[in-house]
């Protein structure tokens, strides 16, 4: 079965590719900007998760949250930006949503958050894959 023509027209539209990448990377851009404008909060967040030196981890987090989306949105080295954000998201999920150590409602919420983050990782794999395919066919 082929894709219906109206849906194909939407999927083929150049804006769709950009808007999809923006939707996927938007939370990271926002997170990076918020951390950049609240440096003390960014450092405190890293310390809360036991990452030391907290200032170094805050700077690395900001860099990943801003550079990764820039590469994806520019569709230049999108594989690198997607890889940066995918690895970052997986590590953050393991660190912040260790549901296997929790009980009760806390475990339920952390389990959901963990698997939502895995979904984002899958989204970044798709971005890298689609970017690669589009590059080959350009």
Which residues, 6 or more positions from 89, have their beta carbon under 8 angstroms from its beta carbon?
Answer: 117, 120, 121, 124
Which residues, 6 or more positions from 68, have their beta carbon under 8 angstroms from its beta carbon?
Answer: 25, 28, 81, 82, 84, 85, 88
d(C-alpha 74, C-alpha 59), whole Å: 22
- Sites in the chain below the pLDDT cut of 50: none
pLDDT of residue 1: 82
> Which structural domain range is residue 10 located in?
5-136
Q: Using N-to-C axis directions, what is the helix angle for 54-74 and 39-48, rounded to 10°?
A: 110
Number of domains in the chain: 1
């Amino acid at each position: 079965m082929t894709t219906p023509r109206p849906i194909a027209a939407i999927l083929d539209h150049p804006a769709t590719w950009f808007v999809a990448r923006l939707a996927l990377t938007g939370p990271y851009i926002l997170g990076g900007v918020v951390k950049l404008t609240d440096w003390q909060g960014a450092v405190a967040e890293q310390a809360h998760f036991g990452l030391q030196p907290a200032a170094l981890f805050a700077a690395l987090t900001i860099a990943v949250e801003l550079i990764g989306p820039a590469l994806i949105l520019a569709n230049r080295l999108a594989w690198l930006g997607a890889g940066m954000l995918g690895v970052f998201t997986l590590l953050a999920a393991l660190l912040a949503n260790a549901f296997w150590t929790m009980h009760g409602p806390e475990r339920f919420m952390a389990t959901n958050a963990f698997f939502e983050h895995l979904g984002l990782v899958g989204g970044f794999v798709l971005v890298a894959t689609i970017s690669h395919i589009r590059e080959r066919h350009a």
